[in-house]
A and B are shown apart, each in its own frame.
Chain A
């Protein structure tokens, strides 16, 4: 069947199932079970059997198609093939949910927390740089004020 590996395999497995089922339920077997009717009407038995087989196959294929449509299987098989293809290099088993949501959530949060951390680090560094500049101005301002006070004091003493 056309389509991706998974879809092809799925169709092949179902087809094989059908073939073997029909092979098991062969016409001989059927005629054998319905011996009394077969003796009476061999042609009719054949045509009833043929209809039985074709109808059964049609119903089963229809059901399979319905399952595929409902489960969106073609697309899922397609994307699963891609995912499997991407992982073909790796041998070891991949991660699986631990069953403890908090644990599994950590890795999902981590990249964002790391981003948050670098934002905070940058913010802290900027603030520290900024504050040290302002602190320089404050110190210079204090010196200036002390100087002015000294000047005033000198003038005051001179007057006194």
Chain B
């Protein structure tokens, strides 16, 4: 007969019902034996007090053994019945009952495959979150970089603007024409200069 360890009961009671009842059995049995010895002691003492009594201690011992044997037989039978009742009806977790700490088992039944699939999904989600996080950092870094580049480019444009407004300030609307005009002028100036130099040499 396979022993039912009654582990689920032990989980609830904190002890195995069989051990509990074994302890009760041993305690009861000890009491019975002790009481029988007390009874025998009292009788022997009373007999001592009766003069001319011819009942020997061994006779009384035989009486004790006879009564104890009888009691022990009944004790074991009755205790067996009590144990059966207590194990079945009292120190027992009915099959349809789930202990509170195990409720999660029925709220979240989960096969190995489901569990692994969930773990895989979590791994992927973590990876995606990290990837998105890195992408976010890269995007923000580029934004910062763009700010700097844009500032530089706008500075260059301002520089061009400044250039043109200088030209405008000095009456040169269209740069190209004024530049051509300037080159002509400078050429004329060079000719005049040459001219002056020749004359001054002659002089």
Kindly report which residue of chain B lies nearest to residue A90, judged by CB atoms. Answer: B96
Please tell me the size bucket of the interface on A.
35 or more
Q: Find out whether the CB atom of B157 lies under 8 angstroms from the CB atom of A151.
A: yes
Instruction: Identify which of residues 1-53 in chain B touch chain A, using a CB-to-CB cut-off of 8 Å.
Output: 7-8, 11-15, 20, 23-24, 27-28, 31-32, 34-35, 38-39, 42-43, 46-47, 50, 53
How far, in angstroms, from A45 to B154 measured CA to CA in the complex?
A: 124
Q: Find out whether the CB atom of A10 lies under 8 angstroms from the CB atom of B90.
A: yes
Kindly report which residue of chain A lies nearest to residue B53, judged by CB atoms. Answer: A40
Q: Would A13 and B63 be within 8 Å (CB), given that A52-B39, A111-B108 are in contact?
A: no
Q: Find out whether the CB atom of A34 lies under 8 angstroms from the CB atom of B60.
A: yes
Q: Find out whether the CB atom of B20 lies under 8 angstroms from the CB atom of A141.
A: no
Q: Find out whether the CB atom of B125 lies under 8 angstroms from the CB atom of A121.
A: yes
Q: Find out whether the CB atom of B27 lies under 8 angstroms from the CB atom of A10.
A: no
Please tell me the size bucket of the interface on B.
35 or more
Chain B's nearest CB lies how many Å from the CB of A76? 6
How far, in angstroms, from A107 to B93 measured CA to CA in the complex?
A: 21
Q: Would A80 and B136 be within 8 Å (CB), given that A21-B74, A113-B119, A120-B122 are in contact?
A: no
Q: Which residues of B contact A60 (CB under 8 A)?
A: 28, 31
Q: Which among A6, A64, A80 has the highest number of chain B CB atoms within 10 Å?
A: A80
Chain B's nearest CB lies how many Å from the CB of A51? 8
Instruction: Identify which of residues 126-160 in chain B touch chain A, using a CB-to-CB cut-off of 8 Å.
Output: 126, 128-129, 132-133, 135-136, 139-140, 142-143, 146, 149-150, 153-154, 156-157, 160
Counting CB contacts under 8 A, is B181 at the interface? no
* Given A13-B90, A145-B146, A145-B153, 5 further pairs, Cβ under 8 A: A48-B43, A71-B13, A94-B106, A110-B104, A135-B139
Interface CB pairs A-B, < 8 A, 24: A6-B90, A21-B74, A24-B70, A25-B67, A29-B67, A33-B64, A33-B67, A36-B63, A37-B47, A37-B63, A40-B53, A52-B35, A71-B14, A80-B12, A94-B97, A94-B106, A106-B115, A107-B105, A113-B118, A114-B118, A120-B125, A131-B135, A138-B139, A138-B143
